[in-house]
A and B are shown apart, each in its own frame.
Chain A
Amino acid sequence: MSDITTFRSATEETPLARRVLIGIAAGGLGLLVFAPLIVVFAAALQQGLAAAIASLGNQDALSAIKLTLIITAISLPLNAAFGIASAWFITKFDFRGKAFLITLIDLPFSVSPVVAGLCIILMFGTNSLVGGWLVASGYPIVFALPGIVLATMFVTFPFVARELIPVMIEQGRTEEEAALTLGASGWRVFLTVTLPNIRWALLYGVLLCNARAMGEFGAVAVVSGKIRGQTATMPITIEMLYNEYLSVAAFSMAAVLALLALVTLLLKTALELRLADQLSASNRH
Chain B
Amino acid sequence: MNKPLIHRSPMPGLGLSMGITITMLSLVVLLPISALLLKGATFGLDNIWETVNRERVWAALYLSFRLSLFAALFNLVFGVILAWVLVRYRFPGRRILDAAVDLPFALPTAVAGIALTALYAPNGVFGSIAKELGFKIAYTQWGIFIALIFVGLPFVTRTVQPVVQEIEHEVEEASATLGASRAHTIRRVIIPMLMPAALTGFALALARAVGEYGSVIFIAGNIPLKTEIAPLLIVIQLEEFNYDAASAIGIAMLLISFAMLLVINLIQVWSRRRIGYV
Closest to B171 in A: A11
A112 to chain B: closest CB distance in Å?
A: 3
Residues of A within 8 A of B (CB): 10-14, 18, 21-22, 24-26, 28-29, 31-37, 39-40, 43, 78, 81-82, 85-86, 88-90, 92-96, 101, 104-105, 107-123, 125, 127-128, 150, 153-154, 157, 173, 176-177, 180, 185-186, 189-190, 208, 211-212, 214-218, 221-222, 234-236, 238-239, 242, 250-251, 254, 257-258, 260-262, 264-266, 268-269
- Which residues of the other chain, B, contact A109 by a CB distance below 8 angstroms? 204, 207-208
**Which candidate, B6-14, B44-52, B191-199, is the interface stretch facing chain A?**
B6-14
* CB 8 Å contact bits of B119-149 with A (1 = contact, 0 = none): 1000011100000000000000000001001
CA–CA, A189 to B207, complex, Å? 39
Question: Given A180-B12, A218-B213, does the pair A26, B97 have CB atoms closer than 8 Å?
Answer: yes
Majority SS of interface residues in chain A?
helix
B156 at interface, CB cutoff 8 A: no
B202 at interface, CB cutoff 8 A: no
Pick the contact of A36: B7, B91, B110, B115 (CB < 8 A): B115
11 new A-B contacts at CB < 8 Å, known A92-B13, A105-B29, A153-B28: A10-B182, A11-B176, A11-B182, A43-B115, A82-B28, A115-B254, A119-B250, A120-B32, A222-B238, A239-B110, A261-B111
Whether the Cβ atoms of A25 and B115 lie closer than 8 Å is no
Whether the Cβ atoms of A261 and B33 lie closer than 8 Å is no
Number of chain B residues whose Cβ lies closer than 8 Å to a Cβ of chain A: 94
Whether the Cβ atoms of A242 and B218 lie closer than 8 Å is yes
CA–CA, A212 to B29, complex, Å? 17
Interface members, chain B 83-99 (any A CB < 8 Å): 84-86, 89, 91, 93, 95, 97-99
B62 at interface, CB cutoff 8 A: no
CA–CA, A119 to B184, complex, Å? 50
Whether the Cβ atoms of A114 and B231 lie closer than 8 Å is yes
- Which residues of the other chain, A, contact B81 by a CB distance below 8 angstroms? 21, 24-25
Pick the contact of A82: B7, B20, B91, B258 (CB < 8 A): B20
- Which residues of the other chain, B, contact A34 by a CB distance below 8 angstroms? 100
A150 to chain B: closest CB distance in Å?
A: 7
Q: How many A-B residue pairs have CB under 8 A?
A: 283
- Pairs across A and B, CB under 8 Å, 25 listed: A10-B177, A40-B111, A82-B21, A85-B20, A93-B7, A96-B6, A104-B29, A104-B30, A110-B211, A115-B36, A119-B32, A120-B32, A122-B35, A125-B243, A128-B35, A150-B28, A150-B32, A185-B12, A212-B105, A215-B107, A217-B110, A235-B109, A242-B218, A261-B106, A268-B106
* CB 8 Å contact bits of B16-46 with A (1 = contact, 0 = none): 1110110011001111110110110000000
Closest to A128 in B: B35
